[in-house]
Amino acid sequence: MAEPANEPTSFWFKIIDSVASLLYRLGPWFFIFLIAREAAKVLIAYSGKQTLAHVAFQFIADFKIDKLLCYGVGIGGAAYGYKQKRLKEKTIVRLAPEGQERERRIDPDRTSSRLTPRGRTRREDEP
């Protein structure tokens, strides 16, 4: 027969579990409150200091620079991906014959996957 749980220890575990559960549920709301409070302080500090037209003009000027930067990063990422794809294909063309020869020596009855020499799926097999 199992011994009964130690009542004082069990009580403290329940308290700790309840507090942890409460913090887990209230934590995100607490941080949302802090962020909203700080945003309100910023808005109060800037109210009346600049006109709406000045803020809008500054936003448009900054947006153009950001947009240019985003296009540059996007085109650079696409070019990098294309170069990596070509490098992978060249590596497959270089290394595939050696692997196929090794597979033939180990298991001559093995069937081929019938990929192209560049490692792509044949057009007939594509959906």
Segments making up each domain of the chain, as ranges: 8-49, 51-114
pTM for this prediction: 0.41
Mean pLDDT on 62-81: 85
Mean pLDDT of the chain: 81
The tokens for 86 are: 């070509």
How would residue 52 be classed by pLDDT, with cut points 50, 70 and 90?
A: low
pLDDT at 38: 87
What confidence tier does 1 reach under pLDDT thresholds 50, 70, 90?
very low
The per-residue DSSP string of the chain comes to -PPPP-HHHHHHHHHHHHHHHHHHHHHHHHHHHHHHHHHHHHHHHHTTTS-HHHHHHHHHHHHHHHHHHHHHHHHHHHHHHHHHHHHHHHHHHHHHHHHHHHHHHH-TTPPP----TTSPPPGGG--
